[in-house]
Amino acid sequence: MNWMQLKSGSDVRGKAVGEGAVITEQVASALGMAFAQWLAEKLNKPVDQIVVSLGRDSRITGPTLLRATAEGIRKAGASVLDFGMCTTPAMFMSIITPGFSPDGSVMITASHHPWDRNGLKFFTPDGGIESSDVEQLLQLASALHPEDKVPAGSYQEKAFLPVYMDQLSERIRSGLGTSDSKPLQGLHVVVDAGNGAGGFYEKLMARLGADTAGSQFLDPDGMFPNHIPNPENEEAMASVCEAVKRAGADLGVIFDTDCDRAAIVDGQGREINRNRLIALIGAILMEQEPGCTIVTDSVTSAGLKSFITEHGGVHYRFKRGYRNVIDEAIRLNQQGISCPLAIETSGHAALRENHFLDDGMYLVTVLIVRAMQMKRQGKTLSNLIETLKEPVESREIRLSITEKDFRQKGQEAIDRVLSFAQSAPAWHIAPDNREGIRVSFDLDGQSDAGWFLLRLSVHDPVLPLNCEADVAGGVHAILLALNQALEGLEGIDFSPLRKAIEA
């Protein structure tokens, strides 16, 4: 077995059901054993003094894989706290919560991926582990034989979600400056959990006084029978938008399966995700701290950059990958650059006030506090982003790399475009080009009226291409020019680009 194929960024993921399954009970047990041993060495503690908390999302393989992981941890000699159904952010919060405080935690999840996938996500007191740590764990697990061991560590079932709910409740009360038991009285919130792990948020809203009529898909169901739990999925967003309009609610919230990502919907049923979501939370934070820096991934729009600048902030684009933007925000703060937010367009949002933990539920909670405040003023959250300029056209295309050494071929394509851009008069290489090649264009006599970003995927043999334009026909013009720059390059399937041009 190729253990390294299980690595997905800073997580372990793969098929967990049926023929070709790679996330098996045996793999989970070996990884549990490896994590306990690795954690003991990292913390310089005897392994029999190590405690690891475990949780899972609603996937059908979750219970079995959690039990197998627990068995592996116990066979290493460490002890287990079993939280059962939980969220990924809550698993980290358990580490820093008095009365729990395990040495590390593991979440059994594959995030927004299909029902037949699953995986493991690891936390230490420093947060989620890094990509290099995952490689070490996989190497260690590949040499272990947990079937030859007898469990020695203890096992205890313990509920953490009620404590996590109390933490979110306190954030709402402190944000509203009240000790009222029903601080959200008068606010109507529709919750869509997509049958993932986040259905309890509706109970939290109701407990705090909000009207939650119209909420949907709250019960955990690992087959995801209604829609994929993913704030980037068109069907999922259309469903929650319609639910908000049908209920006449003030806003709607939607989570991915394990609740580390989220998006919201305004009272008119309009999506607030991707660039809109970044603008919204950015506007709130820039009010609190004028001049602060907002770190985002590389595919954010030109309109977002203008919005942040106009609000007195600094937009700092960085590489795709939620760990990348979080680590960069932490680094900037350490250098004395105040950065309260690291956020990806996918909905991964980490706030400095919340330990730079990417927690979609915490993000939504902060937004609900502001929604309550604005409702009292006769306003809505959408009022905060009225000046955000949206592109007239946008397009995303994925170009598959067919060469075996896909990273070298992808870099060759990026270098080819960079060289072309340096001599093309209407092409302007972005000054904050930190990933791939980002170029803005003069279109129809307007300066910087469109842009594209061509980059290498974090994990896959793919060149994602994002393109936006502020004038009609601008995307087509940009794609034509880019096709010219890449003409004759072999080892990449350019048919999606050509089809987009011909459409």
Do 3-159 and 164-385 have matching folds? yes
| Strand ranges for 86-185 from DSSP E | 104-108, 117-124, 127-128, 155-157
Own/partner contacts of 372-377, CB < 8 Å, gap of 24 or more, are 372/176, 372/183, 372/184, 372/186, 372/187, 373/176, 375/186, 375/187, 375/250
Q: Specify the DSSP element, H or E, that contains 264.
A: strand 262-266
Which residue numbers in the chain have pLDDT < 70?
none
pLDDT reported for residue 244: 98
Q: For the domain 164-385, what is the CATH code?
A: 3.40.120.10
- The 10 Å Cβ neighbour count of residue 244 is 27
CA angle 300, 462, 264 (to 5 degrees): 35
Closest to 457 (Cα-Cα) out of 396, 501, 391, 503: 396
pLDDT at 364: 98
pLDDT at 503: 80
Q: Assess contact for 436 and 456: CB atoms under 8 A.
A: yes
pLDDT given at position 1: 83
CA separation for the pair 503, 347 (Å, rounded): 30
- Pairwise CA distance, residues 392 & 99, whole Å: 52
In this structure, whether the domain defined by 393-502 belongs to CATH 3.30.70.270 is answered with no
Span between the terminal Cα atoms of the chain, in Å: 44
Sign of torsion, CA 289 290 295 298? Answer: positive
Instruction: Collect all residues with Cβ–Cβ distance below 8 Å to 158 and sequence separation of at least 6.
Output: 81, 82, 83, 100
DSSP string, 476-489: HHHHHHHHHHHTT-
Looking at residue 458, its pLDDT comes to 75
Sign of CA dihedral 265, 273, 275, 421: negative
| Cα–Cα distance, 341 to 354 (Å, whole number) | 10
Q: Can you say whether residue 395 is alpha, beta or left, with left for phi > 0 and alpha for psi between -120 and 50 degrees?
A: beta
The residues spanned by each domain of the chain are 3-159, 164-385, 393-502
Q: How many CA atoms lie within 13 A of 384 on its CB side?
A: 24
Supply the CATH classification number for the domain 3-159. Answer: 3.40.120.10
* Helices and strands (DSSP H and E) totals, the chain: 14, 22
pLDDT of amino acid 498: 95
pLDDT value at position 425? Answer: 86
Residue closest to 358 by CA, chosen among 145, 93, 47, 109: 93
d(CA 216, CA 226): 10
pLDDT value, residue 295: 98
Long-range contacts at 440-443 (CB < 8 A, ≥ 24 apart): 440/302, 441/469, 441/474, 441/477, 441/478, 441/481, 443/469, 443/470, 443/471, 443/474, 443/477, 443/478
Contact status, residue 39 vs residue 104, Cβ threshold 8 Å: yes
Residue 312, Cβ neighbours under 10 Å: how many?
Answer: 12
> What's the confidence (pLDDT) of residue 435?
92
Chain-centre distance of CA 282, in angstroms?
A: 17
CA gap 291, 282 in Å, rounded: 11
Beta bridge partners of 106: 54, 122
pLDDT at residue 460, rounded to an integer: 83
Query: 295: which residues sit within 8 A by CB, 6+ positions away?
Result: 316, 318, 325, 328, 329, 332, 339, 341, 342, 343
- Distance in angstroms (rounded) separating the CA atoms of residues 53 and 102: 6
The two tokens of residue 341 are 């937010």
